[in-house]
């Protein structure tokens, strides 16, 4: 993300005037906007002021505080660009400049003055927090489905928000963010994980079509877990992951090998047992000559895989599909 944002930096000495910064967006502005830049400046200032409310968010406010200070001192941004930058860059409150091998994150003087006068260094909300939450929901659904229609994003968002999102706003968001986020791409109305090859995308869509499945509707707690990147989020029964981890540790398998095995077993694309698991078990020196250990592993892994949310099942688990379709779950055998 850092390199992608840096590549979009304006190649010039940093500019601190909001009007001149807005003029750097000339290619995306209409003729009417260009003919009345002063009105656009005032609108941007009003939007920024509305964004600054009493809702506290330390990550966002900390970043904006740093940018305001550096902008006042006309100093470059020395650290990696944080993810909080997405929010302010997307809404055109913060601008990125590249000059003499230095990166400058600029909060234009007019906006910095509003920020400092309001005295809200520790509190942000409004449009920026809405954008941040949209980012979180988009990423969470990508983890849950691998590929999903933007109209389904609208359905999930509106399920849990009184401030609804229209299809046009959602499409605009996904189109804009596709340019500088590297976790998804758009494919005929779908947001698709960058981890999927074109073949896998075609197979996923084909499987979904054959099964005639609606999307699994996540609970708010599911979405929150995916946003926080919690491994347990992929499982309907989170305890099965810790049970497998404890079992492998009890066999004196190294933590590095346990992490590799759990990563393979947590692969969400397909409900099929991955062929790479046998090789990973061999590398971990799993005692395949121990009948009791093998039997316990097979039981635990069958249970784990049955409770895993699968992309080809639109977020449902094999266990749920088994109940819905009356299909028996095949047990794993070493």
| Predicted confidence (pLDDT) per residue in 85-103, tens digit | 777 887 789 998 988 888 8
Q: Are residues 86 and 143 in the same domain?
A: no
Q: Is residue 333 part of a domain?
A: no
Among 124, 150, 166, the domain-final residue is: 124
Q: Are residues 188 and 289 in the same domain?
A: no
Q: State the pLDDT at residue 154.
A: 98
Q: Is residue 219 part of a domain?
A: yes
Asked if residues 123 and 59 have their Cβ atoms less than 8 Å apart, the reply is no
Q: Is residue 331 part of a domain?
A: no
Q: Are residues 120 and 132 in the same domain?
A: no
Q: Report d(CA 169, CA 324) in Å as an integer.
A: 35
Q: Is residue 191 part of a domain?
A: yes
Q: Is residue 290 part of a domain?
A: yes
The number of distinct structural domains making up the chain is 3
Among 227, 259, 281, the domain-final residue is: 227
Q: Are residues 96 and 190 in the same domain?
A: no
Neighbours of 285 (CB within 10 A): 12
Q: Are residues 113 and 145 in the same domain?
A: no
Most confident of 65-69, 113-117, 233-237, 251-255: 251-255
**pLDDT of 56 over the 50 cut:** no
Q: Is residue 67 part of a domain?
A: yes
Classify residue 83 by its DSSP letter: T
Q: Are residues 212 and 292 in the same domain?
A: no
Q: Is residue 330 part of a domain?
A: no
Q: How many residues does the chain have?
A: 334
Give the domain range for residue 149. 127-227
Euclidean distance between the first and the last CA atom of the chain, given in angstroms as a whole number: 40
DSSP per residue, 171-237: HHHHHHHHTT-SSEEEETTEEEETTS-HHHHHHHHHHHHHHTPPPP---HHHHHHHHTT-GGGGBSS
Among 124, 156, 190, the domain-final residue is: 124
Task: Work out the pLDDT band at 34, boundaries 50, 70, 90.
Answer: confident
Q: Are residues 135 and 220 in the same domain?
A: yes
Q: Are residues 145 and 249 in the same domain?
A: no
Task: Work out the pLDDT band at 140, boundaries 50, 70, 90.
Answer: very high
User: Of all residues in the chain, what percent carry a pLDDT higher than 90?
Assistant: 48
Q: Are residues 72 and 186 in the same domain?
A: no
Gyration radius of the chain's alpha carbons: 24
Q: Are residues 93 and 138 in the same domain?
A: no
Q: Are residues 140 and 247 in the same domain?
A: no
Q: Are residues 200 and 166 in the same domain?
A: yes
pTM over 0.85: no
Q: Is residue 334 part of a domain?
A: no
């Amino acid at each position: 993300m850092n390199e992608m944002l840096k590549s979009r930096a304006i190649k010039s000495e940093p500019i601190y005037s909001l009007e001149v910064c807005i003029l750097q967006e000339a290619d995306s502005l209409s003729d009417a906007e260009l003919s009345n830049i002063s009105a656009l400046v005032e609108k941007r200032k009003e939007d920024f002021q509305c964004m600054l409310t009493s809702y506290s968010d330390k990550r966002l406010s900390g970043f904006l505080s740093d940018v305001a200070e550096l902008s006042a001192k006309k100093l470059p941004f020395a650290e990696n660009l944080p993810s909080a930058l997405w929010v302010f860059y997307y809404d055109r409150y913060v601008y990125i400049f590249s000059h003499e091998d230095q990166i400058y994150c600029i909060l234009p003087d007019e906006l910095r003055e509003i920020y400092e006068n309001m005295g809200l260094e520790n509190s942000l909300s409004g449009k920026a927090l809405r954008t941040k939450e949209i980012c979180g929901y988009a990423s969470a659904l990508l983890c849950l489905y691998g590929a999903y229609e933007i109209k389904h994003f609208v359905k999930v968002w509106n399920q849990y928000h009184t401030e609804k999102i229209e299809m046009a706003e959602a499409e605009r968001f996904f189109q804009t963010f596709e340019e500088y986020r590297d976790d998804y791409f758009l494919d005929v109305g779908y947001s698709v994980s960058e981890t999927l090859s074109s073949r896998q995308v075609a197979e996923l869509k084909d499987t979904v079509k054959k099964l005639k499945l609606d999307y699994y509707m996540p609970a708010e707690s599911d979405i929150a877990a995916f946003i926080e990147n919690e491994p347990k989020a992929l499982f309907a029964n989170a305890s099965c992951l810790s049970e497998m981890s404890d079992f492998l540790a009890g066999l004196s398998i190294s933590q590095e090998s346990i992490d590799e095995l759990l990563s393979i077993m947590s692969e969400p694309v397909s409900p099929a047992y991955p062929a790479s698991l046998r090789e990973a078990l061999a590398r971990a020196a799993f005692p395949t000559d121990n009948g009791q250990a093998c039997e316990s592993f097979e039981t635990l892994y069958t249970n784990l895989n049955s409770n895993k949310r699968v992309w080809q099942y639109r977020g449902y688990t094999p266990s749920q599909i088994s109940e819905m379709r009356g299909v028996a779950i095949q047990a794993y055998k070493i």
